[in-house]
Amino acid sequence: MDAAHVWEFEAIGTLWQVMTGRPVPGGVRRDVAELIELFDRAWSRFRGDSLVTALARGAGSVPAPPDAAAMLALYVAASEATEGAVNPLVGNALAERGYDAGYGFADAGAQPAPADWPARLTWTRASLTLAAPATIDVGALGKGRLVDLVAGLIGDGVGGPVVVDGSGDIAVRGTTERIGLEHPYDAARIIGVWAVADAALCASAVTRRAWGDGLHHVLDARTGEPVRRIAATWAVAPTAMVADAVATTLFFDGGPAFAHSQRAQWVRMFTDGRVEWSPGCTAEVFVRADSVEA
């Protein structure tokens, strides 16, 4: 969007950018900060005072955070679509590979996440319960959910066009954004452009949250091993939570069918450089014409 007011801040370990037609009032900024703090205190496995840390330490049952039902229901669908590759109890597996709360980055090997997670992790309106201690990691869709929540608050508080960019998870309301699809191996280049209007685009790539010997933050929960076949994914959906979830499932075989079920469009790039996209995809992908197969 042009001639916008830009508000930048850091939260949940990354940079956020909010663009609006008029400045965001101080009261709305405080509301956004409080919203993010509450979300983080519920879901961050990186802080000692969060609900998921309490559950990891054996609390058993905690008061359900407001987003538990929406997020975990989508996790069920994503997990089924990927035959278990997506799993919200993957936190211990990530920590074992070195992506732990202390950012130790010391690899202790592959550890699958509990395949029977829907039996272990249950929720009601009132409570969130783990039958045995485990570490919840909502990385597959949590940031998208938070982007939706922030965009909602900004929209209510400011009105007019709104763009909320949580560093790769982007909600666009009342305007159109031309968003470049970053080349996973060359951040100075893009492999396409997507014009997004009144929807959300979420991106995921294995190249930045990476450490050690081929290790990065997208693990197959069934094996505890990092994915090797897909380098980057992008999805567009009505909400950032859905786009984020679809972008995650696209690292696995079940991703395209899941995207279809969620009415999402997508582009994904394989580690060998090939690029694939959804039927009727509106992204402009820069490909050599003679290399395309319908």
Partner 1 sequence: MTAMTVTPVPRSARTAAAAASVLGIAALAACGGTSAPPATDRSYADGTYTAEGTYATPETVETVSVTVTLADDVITAVEVVGDPKRRESEEHQALFIGGIADAVVGRDIDEARVSRVAGSSLTSGGFNEALELIKADAAE
Specify the stretch interacting with partner 1 by CB under 8 A; choose among 46-54, 61-69, 72-80, 273-281.
273-281
CB 235 within 8 A of CB 196: no
Q: Please report whether residue 273 would count as binding partner 1 according to CB under 8 A.
A: yes
Minimum separation from the CB atom of position 244 to partner 1 (A): 11
Specify the stretch interacting with partner 1 by CB under 8 A; choose among 38-46, 89-97, 124-132, 285-293.
285-293
Contact set for partner 1, span 187-246 (CB under 8 A): 187-191, 193, 201-209, 220, 222-223, 225-229, 232, 234
Minimum separation from the CB atom of position 19 to partner 1 (A): 9
Contact set for partner 1, span 102-161 (CB under 8 A): 143
Minimum separation from the CB atom of position 246 to partner 1 (A): 11
Q: Residue 37 corresponds to which tokens in the numbers above?
A: 């703090």
Spatial neighbors of 206 by CB under 8 A, at least 6 apart, are 184, 216, 217, 218, 226, 227, 230, 231, 232, 251
Nearest by Cα to 66 from 101, 91, 35, 96:
35
Q: What is the DSSP string of 37-106?
A: HHHHHHH-TTSTTSHHHHHHTT--EEEPPTTHHHHHHHHHHHHHHTTTSS-TTTHHHHHHTT--TT----
- Return d(Cα 65, Cα 128) in angstroms, integer: 8
Backbone angles phi, psi at 156, to 5 degrees: -65, -40
> Interhelix angle for 240-249 vs 142-158, to 10°?
160
Q: Please report whether residue 49 would count as binding partner 1 according to CB under 8 A.
A: no
Minimum separation from the CB atom of position 179 to partner 1 (A): 5
Minimum separation from the CB atom of position 58 to partner 1 (A): 29
How many amino acids of this chain bind partner 1 (CB under 8 A)? 76
Backbone angles phi, psi at 157, to 5 degrees: -85, -25
Among 45, 93, 256, 262, binds partner 1 (CB under 8 A): 256
Contact set for partner 1, span 57-96 (CB under 8 A): 83, 85
Specify the stretch interacting with partner 1 by CB under 8 A; choose among 14-22, 23-31, 57-65, 149-157.
14-22
Minimum separation from the CB atom of position 265 to partner 1 (A): 9
Among 177, 237, 239, 248, binds partner 1 (CB under 8 A): 177
Q: Residue 98 corresponds to which tokens in the numbers above?
A: 């070195």
Minimum separation from the CB atom of position 210 to partner 1 (A): 8
Residue 55 vs 202, nearer CB to partner 1: 202
Query: Hey, is 35 helix, strand or coil?
Result: helix
